[in-house]
């Protein structure tokens, strides 16, 4: 098992995660001492939770790094060698959905939206909305790799469309849409999907794998922003039409 | 607690099994990965599942309450500039040590041929996030719409993208996505929701969200500005 060593640097991973959360925890402790003065029992529970989350995310990251990334790279290299390049697009559609579906932060956002809305916006709507939109844009990202379309041709019109949609969408949908863009790009996308993309571009050849691979994250971040605002707009128009019909008769 | 563990376990299986099965199916149907890679993948998938169960439990038990405690304490400090300074510090401190930011700063170090020191880049990204978290808190306090902030932020990005050196653009766009990692997200989410929950006349749903979306803009602007100024 020469791949085993990849799992053995878990110590380094957990140290990185601990380092990443330390500043905010220190900040919290200062706040606790000066202002919050929360009861000790409550604090103890909170710190157990933080420790669980740190251990959990370290395991998750290590699993993705040591297990998913090498497999992703193999898949990418194999896909780059197939003669019918258009097959990359349906593959991108599938992988985009599955990657967003497995992203931990997407679940956390879904939970928070469901509880803040008192259950009227279901968690699954958020999770599926993000996954479907990421699916479409990873498909688009694959098309970009196949046809060599510059990133700017997609991202700049996308950003302009996002600005335009802002003014015709209600603010709750806007907030959730932009937050979704932030959570869609988690460790699954950034490490696993990027490994697939880099594998593809390196075996297609003639392209700069780094530059091609990069834009994928930008596309994944943009996807739910556009899709969720469009969906919100669609629902608004539909409700309005139904309302008008009710009013008329 | 036991019921929650069962629910979370079920949810994680539902989240991770589809991609696991898809990769194994791809392997069986037409890509023959080396056996070692396949075994590594299966072992990795098990780690991912266990890790995500612990993470989701820990987020609910510890990280969300921490963010919410910070957020709901903020409005009690009456002096707005002080509140904004604290909000800035929170945004700065959740980002400054985020592992993905380190990876990104290495990449920028490479594309600039070592012209941009890593610490400068990390500082720029963290300041970008801190600034937009403070702006979000200002917006919620004064009650103006999130749309203006988002529109202004995106317009600045589009304008800068015409002036920034070409090799900076993909990295800048990616930076917005990677800075909001799994540790940052729950802290910032809970911060916004906690802050709105104690302010009168704000809806949790309408005003409490959007901080992550805004926080993603800061680093993009920051990196493009670096490119414009230095090149």
The predicted model gives B101-130 an average pLDDT of 82
The structure tokens 């932020």 sit at B153
The boundaries of the domain holding residue B135 are 77-230
Pick the last residue of a domain from B38, B62, B86. B62
Asked if A187 reaches chain B (Cβ–Cβ under 8 Å), the answer is yes
Q: Are residues B184 and B117 in the same domain?
A: yes
Two structure tokens written together for B5: 């563990």
Interface predicted TM-score (ipTM) of this complex, two decimals: 0.92
Is residue A82 within 8 Å of residue B75, measured between CB atoms? no
Q: Are residues B102 and B214 in the same domain?
A: yes
Q: What is the pLDDT of residues B143-181, one digit of tens each?
A: 889 999 999 999 999 999 999 988 788 788 888 877 888
Q: What is the pLDDT of residues A27-84, one digit of tens each?
A: 999 999 999 999 999 999 999 999 999 999 999 999 999 999 999 999 999 998 888 8
**Residue B111 belongs to some domain of the structure:** yes
Two structure tokens written together for B147: 């749309």
**Residue B67 belongs to some domain of the structure:** no
pTM: 0.92
Nearest chain A residue to B42 by CA: give it.
A67
Q: Are residues B146 and B225 in the same domain?
A: yes
Among residues 107-136 of chain A, which lie with CB inside 8 Å of chain B?
107-109, 111-113, 116-117, 121
Is residue B112 within 8 Å of residue B150, measured between CB atoms? no
Rounded to whole angstroms, how far apart are CA atoms B54 and A60? 9
The lowest-confidence range among B31-35, B37-41, B113-117 is: B113-117
Q: Are residues B194 and B144 in the same domain?
A: yes
Rounded to whole angstroms, how far apart are CA atoms A187 and B117? 25
The pLDDT value recorded for residue A202 is 82
**Residue B198 belongs to some domain of the structure:** yes
- Three-class SS state of B145: coil
Is residue A97 within 8 Å of residue A220, measured between CB atoms? no
Q: Are residues B6 and B112 in the same domain?
A: no
**Residue B54 belongs to some domain of the structure:** yes
Instruction: Sort B207 into a burial class: Cβ within 10 Å, 0-12 / 13-18 / 19+.
Output: buried
Is residue A187 within 8 Å of residue B182, measured between CB atoms? yes
Distance of CA A137 to the CA centre of its chain: 12
The pLDDT value recorded for residue B83 is 95
Q: Are residues B58 and B147 in the same domain?
A: no
**Residue B38 belongs to some domain of the structure:** yes
Rounded to whole angstroms, how far apart are CA atoms A9 and A20? 17
Task: Provide the mean pLDDT of chain B.
Answer: 90
The structure tokens 């990965």 sit at B33
Q: What whole-number percentage of chain B has pLDDT above 70? A: 100
Is residue A17 within 8 Å of residue A61, measured between CB atoms? yes
The pLDDT value recorded for residue A1 is 47
Asked if A83 reaches chain B (Cβ–Cβ under 8 Å), the answer is no
Which of B108, B142, B137, B82 lies closest to B219 in space, CA to CA? Answer: B108
Rounded to whole angstroms, how far apart are CA atoms B117 and B106? 9
Asked if B143 reaches chain A (Cβ–Cβ under 8 Å), the answer is no
Pick the last residue of a domain from B62, B85, B108. B62
Among residues 112-141 of chain B, which lie with CB inside 8 Å of chain A?
none
Pick the last residue of a domain from B16, B36, B62. B62
Rounded to whole angstroms, how far apart are CA atoms B164 and B125? 16
Is residue B48 within 8 Å of residue B16, measured between CB atoms? yes
Residues whose CB falls within 8 Å of the CB of residue B31, separated by 6 or more in sequence, listed in order: A74, A75, A78, A79
Two structure tokens written together for B19: 């991609």
Which of A6, A79, A178 lies closest to B37 in space, CA to CA? Answer: A6
Asked if A155 reaches chain B (Cβ–Cβ under 8 Å), the answer is yes
**Residue from B7, B9, B20, B52 whose CB has the most chain A CBs within 10 Å, to mutate:** B52
Q: What is the pLDDT of residues B13-23, one digit of tens each?
A: 999 999 999 99
Q: Smallest Cβ distance to B23: which of A38, A71, A156?
A: A71
Rounded to whole angstroms, how far apart are CA atoms B8 and B49? 10
Q: Which residues of chain A have pLDDT under 70?
A: 1-6, 205-214, 245-249
Asked if B231 reaches chain A (Cβ–Cβ under 8 Å), the answer is no
Terminus-to-terminus CA distance in chain A, angstroms? 73
Q: Are residues B216 and B105 in the same domain?
A: yes
DSSP string across A56-81: HHHHHHHHIIIIIHHHHHHHHHHHHH
Rounded to whole angstroms, how far apart are CA atoms B79 and B137? 13
pLDDT(B104) > 50:
yes
Rounded to whole angstroms, how far apart are CA atoms B3 and A80? 45
Query: How long a stretch of residues is chain A?
Result: 249
**Residue B152 belongs to some domain of the structure:** yes
Q: Are residues B124 and B180 in the same domain?
A: yes
The pLDDT value recorded for residue A165 is 96
Q: Are residues B92 and B183 in the same domain?
A: yes
The pLDDT value recorded for residue A206 is 62
Q: Are residues B40 and B110 in the same domain?
A: no
C-alpha distance from residue B27 to each of A23, A84, A92, B21, B153 (Å): 42, 18, 16, 10, 43
Q: Are residues B95 and B171 in the same domain?
A: yes
Tell me the chain B residues in contact with residue A102 when contact means C-beta distances shorter than 8 Å. 15-16, 18-19, 48
Q: Are residues B85 and B54 in the same domain?
A: no
The half-sphere exposure of B43 on its side-chain side, counting CA atoms within 13 A, is 18
Asked if A230 reaches chain B (Cβ–Cβ under 8 Å), the answer is no
Query: How long a stretch of residues is chain B?
Result: 231
Which of A226, A176, A27, A173 lies closest to B126 in space, CA to CA? Answer: A27
The pLDDT value recorded for residue B14 is 95
Which of B194, B160, B175, B178 lies closest to B66 in space, CA to CA? Answer: B194
Interchain contact, B93 vs A27, CB within 8 Å = yes
**Residue B89 belongs to some domain of the structure:** yes
Q: Smallest Cβ distance to A171: which of B73, B145, B212?
A: B145
CA angle A188/A190/A193 to nearest 5° reads 65
Which of B100, B119, B90, B101 lies closest to B192 in space, CA to CA? Answer: B90
What is the number of domains present in chain B? Answer: 2
**Residue B35 belongs to some domain of the structure:** yes
């Amino acid at each position: 098992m020469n791949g085993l060593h990849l799992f053995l640097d878990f110590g380094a991973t957990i140290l990185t995660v601990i380092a990443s959360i330390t500043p905010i925890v220190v900040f919290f402790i200062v706040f606790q001492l000066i202002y919050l003065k929360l009861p000790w029992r409550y604090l103890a529970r909170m710190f157990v939770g933080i420790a669980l989350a740190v251990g959990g995310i370290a395991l998750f990251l290590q699993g993705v790094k040591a297990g998913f990334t090498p497999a992703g790279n193999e898949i990418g290299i194999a896909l780059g060698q197939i003669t019918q390049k258009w097959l990359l697009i349906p593959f991108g559609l599938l992988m985009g959905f599955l990657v967003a579906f497995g992203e931990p932060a997407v679940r956390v956002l879904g939970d928070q939206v469901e509880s803040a809305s008192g259950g009227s916006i279901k968690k699954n709507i958020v999770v599926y909305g993000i996954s479907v939109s990421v699916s479409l844009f990873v498909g688009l990202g694959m098309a970009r790799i196949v046809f060599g379309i510059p990133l700017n041709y997609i991202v700049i019109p996308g950003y302009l469309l996002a600005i335009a949609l802002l003014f015709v969408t209600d603010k709750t949908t806007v907030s959730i849409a932009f937050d979704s863009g932030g959570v869609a790009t988690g460790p699954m996308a950034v490490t696993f999907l990027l490994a697939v993309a880099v594998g593809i571009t390196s075996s297609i050849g003639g392209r700069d794998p780094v530059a091609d691979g990069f834009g994928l994250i930008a596309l994944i971040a943009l996807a739910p922003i556009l899709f969720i605002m469009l969906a919100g707009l669609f629902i608004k128009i539909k409700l309005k039409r139904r309302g008008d019909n009710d009013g008329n008769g | 607690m036991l019921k929650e563990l069962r629910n979370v376990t079920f949810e994680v299986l539902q989240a991770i099994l589809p991609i696991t099965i898809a990769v194994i199916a791809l392997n069986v149907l037409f890509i023959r990965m080396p056996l070692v890679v396949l075994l590594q993948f299966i072992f990795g998938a098990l780690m991912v599942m266990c890790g995500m169960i612990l993470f989701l439990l820990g987020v609910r038990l510890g990280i969300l309450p921490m963010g919410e405690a910070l957020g709901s304490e903020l409005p009690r400090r009456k002096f707005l500039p002080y509140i904004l300074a604290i909000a800035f510090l929170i945004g700065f401190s959740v980002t400054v040590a985020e592992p993905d930011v380190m990876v990104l700063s290495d990449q920028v170090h490479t594309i600039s041929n070592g012209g941009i020191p890593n610490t400068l880049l990390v500082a720029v990204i963290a300041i970008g996030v801190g600034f937009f978290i403070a702006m979000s808190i200002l917006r919620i306090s004064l009650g103006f719409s999130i749309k203006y902030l988002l529109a202004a932020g995106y317009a600045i990005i589009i304008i800068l993208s015409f002036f920034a050196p070409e090799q900076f653009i993909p990295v800048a766009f990616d930076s917005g996505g990677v800075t909001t990692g799994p540790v940052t997200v729950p802290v910032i989410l809970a911060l916004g929701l906690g802050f709105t929950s104690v302010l009168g006349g704000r809806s949790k749903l309408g005003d409490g969200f959007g901080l992550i979306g805004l926080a993603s803009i800061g680093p993009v602007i920051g990196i493009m500005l670096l490119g414009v100024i230095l090149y």
